[in-house]
Structure 1
Amino acid sequence: MSENFSRRGFLGLAAGGVAAAGLAGCGFAPPSGGGGSSSSGALVFRWWGGEARNRAYQQTLDLFKQKTGITVTAQFSGYDGYFNKLNTEFAGGNPPDIFQMDTALVSTYAAKGVLTDLSRYIPDTIHLDTLYPAVRTAGTVGGKPYGVPSGSGYAPVVYDKNVFEQAKIPVPTDNWTWNDFTTIAGELSKAMGSGKYGALDASRDDSGALQPWLRQRGKDLYTAEGVLGFNEDDLKEWFTYWEGLRKSGAICPPEMLSNADSATGNHPLITGQVAMTTGWGLAQIQPLTQHALDIVIVPRGSNGKTGQAPSGGVLLSVPVKSSNPDGAAKLIDFFATDTDAIKIMGIQRGFPPSDKALNTLLPSLSASDKRDVTYGQYVSQEVVKDGIPNAPTAPAGYNDVKNALDAAAKQVAFAKMSVADGVTRFFSDAKTALANAK
């Protein structure tokens, strides 16, 4: 399973505070235009990823050369330091021709004027209409596409089926609500015994819990204008809900959250300390335990809406100083529409973002991957039923806002702040972060 399926990937919209700060400090002016050389010219493609993703990319690039004659030089690394290196190249005027972009940072880079508006390649070169409607706009900023999504994702709750069976408690169903979550988490805590809890505290989980909750109420994390899409009363209700669960013992104490940011053997779900968690996909965390895990949609609102905001996996973007933007556009489309490329890449960059990708990949997926993917299709269908507009792209300053929510939620959880003070602190820090990012 790809490392992309993580809180910092398709569920959490990868963190990038250092990257954003580095870009802001580059001090370069928006370039006047791209290179525009022949589409048969060579390309330089930069991405981050683990060994499996790197291998898949390189095999796909070899195939691209065979089919188009365009040679692609690969540059890759881990996520740490990736955007610092990229920022240095942007500042020096020599960025790669195409690069893997973090969904959470596309607004930051677009605001600096360093990304190509891909509108001129859609639909003739880049067939964006082949992707599911809910993910097509993942790279759109101010109505213009600056990145093309490579996958899709959703916000599930992963739960331990064995614990539910031992506790003789029915597993949650697809139509469960937040009231059901409260009841089930409380029953599990009582049944599991001392030191164990029904669920992980998700009060700080922005995209995996708070965003669906807000969208169920007709709001969102952000507006299309890049400001907060909810108010103090909304966050007070959110923090108060989790405060009640915490005081009743239905969710874990804050000390357990230190092991919840990575899919490792120390995660509270894997150690048996909690029975339910947000923030992860099934196929990512299932290999860490012999227990049978399963997934269910984040609880619905009282109006029956899921509030889900499917993400776009990672994006592919083209700098305005690309020496071959036409060739880069061809490569983007190749990843999205070529059957052989789809097979090689698998789900390294997110769940299949189109029916073509889904039908191509399903026969070869592992059981846990297949469960994740097919449930994702169910969620996509429910999103259509919701009838809620697509979530706006995260604005510049997103990562600092995410950190502000994490900090405020933890202060409340550790009883170092009241709910009211935590709300005040968050809005002060978040508004400052968004203003400074402009």
Structure 2
Amino acid sequence: MRKKSILNVLSLTLAASVVATNFAAAADLRMSWWGGDGRHVATQKALEYCTGKTGHKVKAEFAGFEGYLEKLMTQMAGSTEADIIQVDWPWLFQFSKDGTGFADLKQFAGELDLTQWNDSQLAPATIKGKLNGLPVSVTGATYYFNDEIYKKAGIDTPKSWDDLAAAAKKLNPQGLYPFDSTRVILMLMIEAFTAQISGQEFVKPGTNELAWTAEDIAGALKHYQWMVDNGIVRSAKDAAGVGNIEIFDDPAWVSGRIGGTYFWDSTYSKYNDPLTVGKLVPAAPLQIKGAKSDGVYKKPSMVFSISKHSKDPKAAAQVINCLLNDKDAILILGDSRGLPASAIAKATLEAAGKLTPERLEGAKIVAAATGPVMSPLIEHPTVQELFKDVIEQFAYGQLTADEAGQEIVDGLTKALRRL
């Protein structure tokens, strides 16, 4: 079996080598991305390798997710963005409604081995016939639990919300919580709960018309309040006491006082690497009462795009090809951006035993889960800020669930007309 796997890698390597090897004169490029420390370190090492391979110098510009989009919007408006940009999939439709916001990667087939992606992978990043980015991985939102916390407490990994409520009774007296979320994660969970209740995406297919009702959203918020009331998660006030930070930077998370959370499987390393106690294991979707589906969102995760203002887009394409299709670069990057979409990347990591059981199991869970087709509109900044602001008002007791549900519906109805 292993021999067959290695042969597959070799054949894919030959396919990847079809791209041009006669590099242009050395170029000075910039590359921007977001992520946690694990991704930052791996990407810088891979860029160092690709610099030697291609002869092009690449200046690294990296940060956390918070604020990345705002900075990119400013750069794009002023035509000062990096040559190579890590872009969240829904942002493509904000920056490139007609497909001309980024360079068309189909023009660089001599530098990029596009055969490593199938048509269904490239289609979501293709706008008006122009390939605006290469999917780095495909991702879905799911639940992860710290195995050591539950093991020490003599509790099985939760399979339902009732399991989490029972776990809270045992963990809370020790100053532990079986689960938790930050502002962004909470928004994602409320959207997933609403998708479970309604059984559909938040807009009607092919339109900007809202499909969710105030009652659907209120039901999701009431479930979150039930989580707080049962000690499954900290109250918004208690969580805010540690400051406006990501959960993986929270000392309670790092030291093993929080038993789990909810995130995109492509960001596994960002949440798992900081742990000083235990490791994260994926769990099947948790359904709330009356759920019509798992409510699991799936999408291409970040893509690598090339600026249409780049002075040397061919050089940028060569660097991207090195990062995503070169066997040595693939091994350096590992699964720092999730399970790779590139066929040669996935095969290389599997043959080298670099994909952990947790990573593979998480991808399997996401692939098998049910949920609505994801509209990129749900990740539009206007939509996300409205959700986050109203959910926060509810979490602090300033609005009832019914009031918050109606306020979100009213706000979204107006916002979607303008998008």
Alignment TM-score, normalising by the size of structure 2: 0.73
Matches within 5 A, 1:174-193: 176=159, 180-181=160-161, 183-193=162-172
Alignment partner for residue 237 of structure 1, among 211, 214, 219? 219
Distance 1:203 1:48 in 2: 21
Distance in 2 between residues matched to 1:243 and 1:424, nearest whole Å: 17
- Equivalent residue letter for 1:61: C
Cα-to-partner distance string for 1:149-192 (whole Å, 9 max, x where unaligned) = 213333232223344345443323xxx4xxx22x1121112222
Matching of residue 263 in structure 1 with residue 243 in structure 2: no
| Contact 2:214/2:408, CA 8 A, preserved across alignment | no
User: Contact (CA 8 Å) 1:232, 1:427: kept in 2 or not?
Assistant: yes
Asked if 1:347 is matched to 2:339, the reply is no
Aligned pairs for 1:245-260 (under 5 A) are 245-258=227-240, 259=242
For 2:268 and 2:169, how far apart are their aligned partners in 1? Answer: 25
Deviation at 1:418, TM superposition (A): 0.5
- Residue 59 of structure 1 corresponds to 48
User: Which stretch shows the higher mean deviation, 96-105 or 135-144?
Assistant: 135-144
Taking the TM superposition and a 5 Å limit, the aligned residue runs for 1:17-416 are 40=24, 42=27, 44-49=29-34, 51-65=40-54, 71-79=56-64, 90-91=76-77, 93=79, 95-111=81-97, 115-116=101-102, 118=104, 120-121=106-107, 126-128=112-114, 130-131=116-117, 136-137=122-123, 139-141=125-127, 145-172=131-158, 176=159, 180-181=160-161, 183-194=162-173, 196-200=176-180, 205=185, 208-216=188-196, 218-221=199-202, 224-225=206-207, 228=210, 230-258=212-240, 259=242, 261-267=246-252, 270=255, 272=257, 274-279=258-263, 283-286=269-272, 287-300=274-287, 306-362=294-350, 370-383=356-369, 386=370, 390-394=373-377, 398-416=380-398
- For residues 167 and 136 of structure 2, the distance between their equivalents in structure 1, rounded to whole angstroms, comes to 38
SS at match of 1:401: helix
In 2, Cα distance between equivalents of 1:105 and 1:127: 24
Spell out, residue by residue over 1:59-107, the C-alpha distance to the aligned partner (whole angstroms, 9 max, x if none): 24324416xxxx3443524357766665565455565443222334322
8 Å Cα contact 1:200/1:276 also seen in 2:
yes
Q: CA deviation at 1:137?
A: 4.7
Shift of 1:52: 0.6
Q: Distance in 1 between matches of 2:320 and 2:194?
A: 33
Change (3 A) 1:299 1:201: same
Query: Does structure 1 conserve the Cα–Cα contact (< 8 Å) formed by 2:50 and 2:322?
Result: no
Partner amino acid for 2:247? S
Report the CA distance between 1:144 and its aligned residue: 5.0
Q: Deviations over 1:370-417 (max 9, x none)?
A: 13421233135415xx4x67523346x722322322222222222221
Amino acid at match of 1:344: I
Q: C-alpha displacement at 1:248, in angstroms?
A: 3.8
The percentage of aligned residue pairs carrying the same residue is 17
CA contact (8 A) 1:245 1:251 kept: yes
- Once residues 318 and 206 of structure 2 are traced to their aligned partners in structure 1, the CA distance between those partners, rounded to angstroms, is 29
Deviation (angstroms), 1:278: 1.7
Structure 1 pair 370–39 and aligned structure 2 pair: CA distance change class (3 A) = same
**2:328 & 2:230 partners in 1: Cα distance?**
53
Q: Is the 8 A contact 1:197 1:251 kept in 2?
A: yes
In structure 2, distance between residues paired with 1:95 and 1:161: 41
From the superposition, tell whether residues 121 and 115 of structure 1 become closer, same or farther in structure 2 (CA, over 3 Å): same
Does the 8 Å contact 2:143/2:284 carry over to 1? yes
Residues 21-49 of structure 1 show CA distances to partners (whole Å, capped at 9, x for unaligned) of xxxxxxxxxxxxxxxxx983646332135
Structure 2 letter corresponding to 1:321:
H
Q: What is the CA–CA distance in structure 2 between the aligned matches of 1:204 and 1:59, rounded to whole Å?
A: 33
SS in 2 for 1:425: helix
Unpaired runs of 5+ residues, structure 2, are 1-21
Query: Can you list the C-alpha shifts for 1:311-343, whole angstroms capped at 9, x where unaligned?
Result: 433222123333344444444344333323322
**Structure 1 CA distance for aligned equivalents of residues 199 and 114 of structure 2:** 27
Say if 1:142 and 1:224, in contact at 8 Å, map to a contact too: no
Q: CA RMSD in A?
A: 4.0
Structure 1 unaligned regions, length at least 5 = 1-37
Aligned partners of 1:185 and 1:250 also within 8 Å: yes
- Give the direction of change, closer, same or farther, for the CA distance of 1:98–1:160 in structure 2 (3 Å limit): closer
| Residue type at the aligned position of 2:214 | E
Gap change, CA 1:256 and 1:342, over 3 Å in 2: same
Tell me the secondary structure at the aligned position of residue 408 of structure 2.
Answer: helix
- Evaluate the alpha carbon distance shift between residue 240 and residue 159 of structure 1 in structure 2; reply closer, same or farther with a 3 A threshold: same
Q: Given the superposition, is the C-alpha separation of residues 146 and 231 from structure 1 closer, same or farther in structure 2, using an over 3 Å criterion?
A: farther
Distance across 2 between alignment mates of 1:350 and 1:89: 27
TM-score w.r.t. the length of structure 1 is 0.71
Q: Tell me the SS of whatever aligns to 2:32.
A: strand
8 A contact 2:255–2:277 mirrored in 1: no
